[in-house]
Structure 1
């Protein structure tokens, strides 16, 4: 049986769609994914690269982020805008919150014996935060621009659903495999098999797209200022599973486009198309044509060339498209010779 979330008219009016990734959600779910063997096509290469690059001491934090069960609150409840801010928030967690968070987690899930000493042992807490920072530096930070791009593209898809059918259309399509809208109830198939009824009481929800939370929805009913429900970004709901992340771990380098390859792609118009996509992530082909001032067919042709060169990605949802610049495309624009 699913988790049943009951919506009132006020809840529907106050439900929002996040247009940027949540660092805390991405890092905690990435930590879970490292300890799983699921999604081998999409996450297998990332998982292998990350695990082989982690220092053994960094695995300390994974003990508090098990693949199943609750994650200790002070590690999962931060509301930072960037991964770097997230680490700083965790480092500055008050001792009282640390103790309360650990005690709450211990009621539902056994903790390592050393975890109970964290509130009273600054050196141990520093080691844990260093472990968290090292994990973020290898599992998340190298891919953060791609996570942002996929989230921006998803926001474009949801915006069109919202314009075409209102928030109920978004709820109906946000994750058809796991989430079903039966007005006025949203049925969510949780990994835990939780069977319960939840009334939002006018708070509404924040719908949070995620790159790493692809297995099952993550629901945080205690989040402020309103409950949060995660769902996979639109790209991950496309039919064909393709490997995620082209960025390599820190300390390694990928050969970028050769000067000849860049020169064959970036003429005046294509440079304008790439620059426009970078400034308007998630734009459709029709919007792209209007912004650049060219025909829709021409915009489609240029987008295809840029996509084949690895400078943009295109995400499709039914009849709509959403273009985003890849990290390579952004690097080309940032290069002195590639400015549009």
Structure 2
């Protein structure tokens, strides 16, 4: 049986879509994915690179972010905007919250023996935070720009759904494999198998796109100012599974062309298309054509070429598209205009 969220008219009116990733959710789901072997096409290359770079101290982070079960609340219940801010918030967690959070987790699953000493041992908490920072440095930070771009593109897709069919249309399509809208109830198939009825009480819901939450939803009823439900970004719901973060720009590789030379490398119109997508992440092909001042067919052709070159990614939702520049595309645009 699923988790059932009961909506009122007030809940529907207050339900929102996040337009940026949540570091606490991305770190937690990334840590879980590193301990799994699922989704080898999408996550295999990222998983191999990350695990190869981690040192044994990362096990502390994994112990409190297991592949199954709860992630201890003080690691996930923050509103940090960046991974670095998330770690700093965890470092400054009050002892009372540490104690309450760990006691709550222990009621549902066993904790490592050292975890119970965290509220009374600042050095141990520092070691845990160093472990979390190490995982974030290798699993999240090299890809954070692309994670942000995918969240922005997803927000564009959901905004069009909202305009076309209201909040109910969004709820019906955020995660078809795990989430079903049966007005006025949202049914969620949790990985834990949780079977419960929850009334949102007029708070509404924050719908949070996630890149590393490939499938299983994350629900946080204690989040402020309203409960949170994560779902896979639109790109992960497309038919064909494609690798995430397959090609990262390398500082050791050959220099990319200077900004002034991008037009001569790509062609001036194609360079304008790439620059427009970078400035307007999530734009549709029709919007792209209008912004650049070219025909829609031409915009589509240029976008296809840029996508094949790995400079943009395109997310599709039925008949609409959302284009986003990749880190490689952004690096190309941001290259210095002259070199010694």
TM over 0.5: yes
Change (3 A) 1:179 1:253: farther
1:73-99 CA distances to partner (integer Å, 9 max, x unpaired)?
A: 111111100111001101111111111
Query: Superposed, which structure 2 residues align to 1:141-152 within 5 Å?
Result: 141-152=141-152
Deviation digits for residues 249-274 of structure 1, max 9, x if unmatched? 9x974556578x95664322222211
Q: CA deviation at 1:290?
A: 0.8
Q: Deviations over 1:108-135 (max 9, x none)?
A: 1111111111111111111111101000
- Secondary structure of the equivalent of 1:4? strand
> Following the alignment from structure 2 to structure 1, what is the Cα–Cα distance between the partners of residues 294 and 248?
36
Q: Following the alignment from structure 1 to structure 2, what is the Cα–Cα distance between the partners of residues 224 and 317?
A: 30
Matching of residues 29-108 of structure 1 within 5 Å = 29-108=29-108
Q: Distance in 2 between matches of 1:43 and 1:256?
A: 28
For normalisation by structure 2, the TM-score amounts to 0.95
| 1:242 aligned residue | 242
How many matched pairs?
A: 336
| SS of equivalent residue, structure 1 residue 313 | strand
Q: Choose 262-271 or 134-143, whichever is displaced more.
A: 262-271
Contact 2:214 2:232 survives alignment (8 Å): yes
- Contact 1:220/1:227 (<8 A) preserved: yes
Check whether the contact 1:256–1:328 (CA below 8 A) recurs between aligned residues: no
In the TM superposition, what whole-angstrom CA distance separates every residue of 1:23-67 from its partner, at most 9, and x where no partner exists?
Answer: 000000100111111111101111111111101112211111111
Distance verdict in 2 for CA 1:13–1:4, change over 3 Å: same
Quote the RMSD (CA, aligned, Å). Answer: 1.8
Q: Is the 8 A contact 2:257 2:332 kept in 1?
A: no
Mapped contact 1:206–1:228 kept (Cα < 8 A): yes
| In structure 1, distance between residues paired with 2:69 and 2:122 | 26
Moved more, 94-103 or 17-26: 94-103
In the alignment, structure 1 segments of 5+ residues that lack a partner are: none
Helix, strand or coil for the counterpart of 2:169? Answer: helix
Corresponding residue number in structure 2 for 1:15: 15
Question: Residues of 2 paired with 1:337 and 1:269: CA distance?
Answer: 19
* Contact map agreement 1:143 1:247 (CA 8 A) in 2: no
**Using the alignment, how far apart are the partners of 2:99 and 2:223 within structure 1?**
19
Over 3 Å counting, the alpha-carbon distance change for 1:42 and 1:91 in structure 2 is same
Give 1:16 deviation, angstroms.
0.3
Determine if contact 2:87/2:129 at 8 Å carries over to the other structure: yes
3-state SS in 2 of match to 1:239: coil
Structure 1 stretch 13-22 or stretch 291-300: which is displaced more?
Answer: 291-300
Q: Which runs of 5+ in 2 are unaligned?
A: none
Listed as ranges, the matches of 1:299-318 within 5 Å are: 299-318=299-318
Q: Deviations over 1:126-181 (max 9, x none)?
A: 11111010000001111111111111111111111111111111011111111111
In structure 1, the residue corresponding to 2:5 is in which secondary structure?
Answer: strand
Distance 1:124 1:2 in 2: 38
1:36–1:67: 8 Å Cα contact kept in structure 2? yes
Match of 1:155 in 2: 155
The answer to whether the Cα contact below 8 Å between 1:153 and 1:315 also exists between their aligned partners in 2 is yes
In 2, Cα distance between equivalents of 1:247 and 1:96: 44
**Residue aligning to 2:327:** 327
Q: Secondary structure at the match of 1:324?
A: strand
